[in-house]
Structure 1
Amino acid sequence: MNSRHIMAAFPPTADAQVTLANWRQHPFSEWAFRNVRELLPTANIARSREPTSLSFAQAYLEDVAFANPRGETIDVGEALRTSHTDGFVVSHRGRIVAEWYAHGLTPDAPHLIFSVSKSIAGTLAGILVDRGKLDPDAPVTQYIPEMRGSVYGDGCTVRHLLDMSVGIHFDEDYMAREGDVINYRRSTGWEPFDATVPPTHLRQYLQTLRPDGKPHGHAFHYVSTNTDVLGWVYERACGMSYARIVSHYLWEPMGAEHDAYITVDSRGAARVAGGICATVRDLARFGEMMRNHGVSNGRQVVPSRWIHDIRHNGNAEAWSRGDLTKVFPNGNYRSKWYTIERGQTPFAAIGIHGQWVYIDPANETVIARVSSQALPMDLDLDHMWLRGYRAIASRLSGKA
């Protein structure tokens, strides 16, 4: 199927129709990831009334070279064209130096960012802690008594949610066609209706999850439901919907230029773990704020100490016992953010299908990339682009 024919007729032919059965499959995803609102119910995340202005200083980066998965030399231009990249923005010292779009995406069109959404949630925690609305060491049941009897009710704290160290029985296998991930997605509305399965909704499903026998805090175990519970904690702490929380405490004060939005289930519960859609420029604004110690347009939006904690803390032993050491062998995870290499400055927000916000404070560089990569996790492509991000940062800092 040629992606240009997808959803192009009125009505589309059967083989060009995007549905809940195929929307995360390539090439349908090229259309779906920038048109999520036409597939799923959503809640709006309002933009700022005073957007942070962008400045531009064009730099030629298409010839920056690095190794592809076969060990051959590739440059940025070819990598963009051959890796299903939909949007790409590079910022250096606060100015946009490169911008690139494909597959129908435009600067003002939101794109699904999958688990970059988690890093937004982790950033919000610092703001809510600073406002006295959230205690990261409190038990989850202090905010959600309904979690008693689930894995989240037996000694599980907000910090365990933030750091993905819940001792939960859950297999986050994105390629599975049955089991945990399918049941979870079905509760969020991301899967087609199945008449053979009793209907459920997200908050109901979260209360059914059980422990794996390991103590909370022992190991990094990447499970998306932890972040959905975290969002529910925020709602109880703030007395407002998650979409409103994102807008009020982050999107508006950060100076976002465009509305974002988030998918919701049949009861209006937000898919906090992976349902936000945002423009690439606003992702670059978000990354620049994080690079700048939480300051955007002269305003302290996120406490600098929270960002310092993200970059310098985290449990290396828990990471080493975890399930993503093949991605970053010497990495770390703190408050929904990845440290790429312990002892080095880059940190990142990462989502499946190729979504990134890469921040390199030492080289004063931020790179936001959205994609419709065919595989949810493609380590060859992700590691290729990680080499590319490093090469771009080196070029911009004059080290290459």
Structure 2
Amino acid sequence: MRPSEIMRGSPAAPQAQVTRANWRTFPAIRWGFTHVRELLPTAEIRRADQASPLPMAPREILGLGFVAPDGTETSVSATLQETFADALLVMHRGALVHEWYGDGMTAATPHLICSVSKSIAGTLGGVLVGRGLIDPDAQVVSYLPELKGSAYDGCTVRHLLDMTVGIAFEENYEDPAGDVARYRYASGWDLPPPGVEVTDQRSLLARMPASGKPHGKVFHYVSPNTDVLGWVYERACGASYPAILSEYLWQPMGAAENASMTLDALGASRSAGGISATARDLVRFGEMIRCRGNVAGRQVVPGWWIDDIHTNGDSQAWADGDLAEIFPGARYRSKWYTIDPARGDLAAIGIHGQWIYVDVQTDTVIVKLATHPKAMDIALDLRWLAAYRAIAAHVAAS
């Protein structure tokens, strides 16, 4: 079913209806990810009064061929059509050279970006550190004493940023009764089955068990860590996460459109994965990262914070961690992936196919949004990584 055929009619046919019970299942996801504010409680992330410019310099991208990781020859166009893509934007040296939208998408359509939200949170952290509002080396419980006795007792803000908290939580998206399922109930994303007790997000965070392993040693990807980070920001700044994000990052970078953040039943933000934004504002964000936090001569994010993302991150912690087989030799710092440290490319990645890819070697930023049927589809992600590198080489050579 095409996205434009979902939720059509008064009312829509049963097979075309999207509800909180099915909004992240295929094909409902193809409508759900662009209509989150109609499905869940949300808060607004305010845009700038004046958007930063997006100069246009169109180039042909769709016909570009490349070799997929499995050795087959394909093209950007075929990959868009075969991987449930919703948008593809390419910026080179500050100019938007390609802009493609799938069915149901426009330049003004907000799209859920899942864990790309984490990289935004990590970038916001650099602004707050630069302003002296948070200390990355401080204990989390110094901001949030409510978390004493939980997995977060004894860890630092840096451990949250780098996903090295010693926590007993498994990020398994397919287990209907696992940690992620309970977390989604608490965050208000999923309706619990009868008989399952539901708490709010922060009550759940305060009960997170420790793994018994030391903090800071192993990369362990856990979404709730970023919700704790957002909570730290709120306590330090005395404002809600959406308001902080708007004031310190979204407005200063020149976002053209309001974004939004999903909330739980008590108004807690899901900073780990709840942002919806337009592809154009995401490419503005990626371009700011490429330019070391600078937008049109204004230093929005400290340049040293971006440099630290590029040059630091614990290679051994990554090698011992959850995702080493997917990206061998990578690093993770402040919620950004350095996929190839020799190349210095950065990536913000979310389930169901969300990407911001920043390649400083070729001055290229790529945003790709999608609605993969599977939460994690490694084959599709690796195919797209090959596409990003082919696109970057192409625009740099042309």
Equivalent in the alignment of 2:295: 296
How far is the alpha carbon of 1:51 from its aligned partner?
0.7
1:369-384 correspondence runs (5 A): 369-384=368-383
Question: How much has 1:5 moved relative to structure 2?
Answer: 2.9
Q: Distance in 2 between matches of 1:301 and 1:104?
A: 33
Q: Which residue of structure 1 aligns with residue 26 of structure 2?
A: 26
Measured at CA, do residues 75 and 121 of structure 1 come closer, stay the same or move farther in structure 2, by a change above 3 Å? Answer: same
Determine if contact 1:69/1:381 at 8 Å carries over to the other structure: no
Conserved in 1, the CA contact under 8 Å of 2:117 and 2:274? yes
Contact 1:31 1:103 in 2 (8 A): no
**After alignment, is 196-205 or 93-102 more displaced?**
196-205
Identify the residue that residue 317 of structure 2 maps to in structure 1.
318
d(CA) in 2 for partners of 1:21 and 1:114?
18
What residue identity is the alignment partner of 2:228?
A: V
Instruction: Give the Cα separation in 2 of the matches to 1:285 and 1:134.
Output: 25
Match of 1:305 in 2: 304
Match of 2:72 in 1: 72
CA displacement at 1:70 relative to structure 2: 4.2
Task: Figure out how many residues of one structure are paired with residues of the other and give that number.
Answer: 398
Residue 194 of structure 1 and its aligned partner are, at CA, apart by 3.4
Q: Percent identity of the aligned residues?
A: 53
CA distance in 2, matches of 1:14, 1:189: 23
2:359 match: 360
Q: In 2, distance between residues paired with 1:261 and 1:44?
A: 5
**Matched residue type, 1:362:** Q
Task: Provide the residue aligned with 1:246 in structure 2.
Answer: 245
Aligned to 1:197: 196
Alignment of 1:176-325 (within 5 A): 176-325=175-324
Distance 1:201 1:226 in 2: 16
User: Following TM superposition, by how much is the alpha carbon of 1:69 offset from its aligned partner in structure 2, in angstroms?
Assistant: 5.5
Write out per-residue CA displacement over residues 270-290 of structure 1, whole angstroms, 9 at most, x where no aligned residue.
Answer: 000000000000000000000
Whole-Å separation in 1 of the counterparts to 2:53 and 2:136: 33
The corresponding residue for 2:145 is 145
CA contact (8 A) 2:3 2:104 kept: no
Return the offset for 1:105.
1.0
- Correspondence for 2:85: 85
177-186 or 3-12: bigger deviation: 3-12
Map 1:103-122 to 2 at 5 A.
103-122=103-122
Residue 47 (structure 2) aligns with = 47
Q: Counterpart of 1:94?
A: 94
Q: Secondary structure at the match of 2:62?
A: coil
CA deviations over 1:21-42 (Å, ceiling 9, x no partner): 2111121111000000111000
**Could you tell me which amino acid in structure 1 is paired with residue 10 of structure 2?**
F
Please give the TM-score of this superposition, normalised by the length of structure 1.
0.98
Q: Which moved more, 1:43-52 or 1:186-195?
A: 186-195
Matching residue of 2:385 = 386
Report the Cα offset of residue 195 of structure 1: 3.8
Q: Which runs of 5+ in 2 are unaligned?
A: none
Does structure 2 retain, via aligned residues, the 8 Å contact 1:40–1:190? yes
Q: What letter is aligned with 2:255?
A: A
Conservation of the 8 A alpha-carbon contact between 1:30 and 1:103: no
Match of 2:15 in 1: 15
Query: Partner amino acid for 1:264?
Result: L
Distance 2:290 2:176 in 1: 39
TM-score by length of 2: 0.98
2:343 is equivalent to residue 344 of structure 1: yes
CA distance in 2, matches of 1:295, 1:236: 27
**Aligned partner of residue 247 in structure 2, secondary structure:** helix
- Alpha-carbon distance in structure 2 between the residues aligned to 1:203 and 1:151: 13
Moved over 6 A (4+): none
